[in-house]
Structure 1
Amino acid sequence: MSLLGLISDVHGDPIGLELAWAHLTVMGAGAIVCAGDLVGYGPSPDRAVAFLEGRQIPSVRGNHDRWALERGPGEPDEFGGGTPGEETLEALKRLESSLVLERGGMIVVVVHGSPRGDMEFIAPRTHPPYVLDSYLDTLGADAIVHGHTHRPMWYRSSRDRLVVNPGSIISAPVVATSRTFATLDTATRDVRFFDVESGNPVEVPAWPGSG
């Protein structure tokens, strides 16, 4: 199937995650990928990570996932989130900083912040089209999926390549969040965004300078 579900920044919110998964399942997504930050801020990191693992949703390691590992077992989250259990920490250890997958003839690269690192924010001021094009060229990617900013975005190059941030899943009022997820149709290269709770479409303007 050509529809790829895109989620990011779950942040220990299994309710938002389960809602997004349910909407994507009804939409007919053949696969779902997550651009990291499974834990941090939210109250239920164990339940969120178990859900992703149970449904074999691949994810990259976000900065909050890395920090949880650096803190170690039993150490509280300085951002107020629930403390990950040992099984969750073991799952976080297995995550890579990037994923490469082929879907419908497209090479899709998944990172958290940017290809440069999990703490880099992709923003219009710092990432005009030539910077995003350079990422796509360097990686040999048809699409880059990222997260971290909690703000949905999409950029289409003049060569019909994409950079997409689906926004953040977390709905808990402990951090600014878009409460959105996205889909990428690998047959048409169409990107769409949706509200986590209702599943209704959300309009997201194209990145400045999109082709």
Structure 2
Amino acid sequence: MFFPHSGGSPASYKEFAACLAGSAHTAAVHYPGRAERYREPSFTSVHTLADEIADRLPAWLGESPALFFGHSLGAAIAYEVVRRVPDQHRMLLVASGHPAPSRLELPPLAGPGGDPDGPLVSLVSALGGDTPEILEHPVLRQMFLPVIRADLTAHAGYRPAPGSVIRCPLIALEGDADPLTNRSDMHAWSKHTLSTFHHHTFPGGHFFINHHIPRITDIMRAAMRQEEAAA
């Protein structure tokens, strides 16, 4: 199951789903306030959203290993959803492009001057991804900025419960030029699981995953095979 980044939607993972076709059933979480759910208010709390997703999980989870992949904001949401599953046997978490929850510190979204969107646009532009064209289009920009602002505001307000951990294997993925993470913050994920921990570094910035989909899906398949063999 894929958990999108701030401003993202299930379409963000269509190439991942294509690479995993035939070896895994894939699904992606669709956050409110965008695409087909644009009429719904955006979520304001990572914890509340995780509660809602976890309540619906039993209908999706089966007997096969369940891997949750979250990038950036999605990593925090995926982590909190896993924490809410009573039986984490045969589950795996892949946390990508996000410091350990205990190390989270996001850049400010507001700044001085008369342009309230300035810092937000600068942050989104610096991180790259698929958004530069959107920011240059007046109508799309007007639609996109409120969504990503709401996501980032909820993200900035997120704090894990003191001493929170999960009980399943955890894999951390990092871009070596990502301005929002560093090696120490990524390795701190190891303190959030009572099971095994692995860390992989890739060339690239915050959206490094878009350039390494085959290798990342290979890591996911290997992790699922290992979990299947251990069952």
TM over 0.5: no
**Quick check: which has more Rg, 1 or 2?**
2
More strand by share: 1
Q: TM-score, normalised by structure 2?
A: 0.35
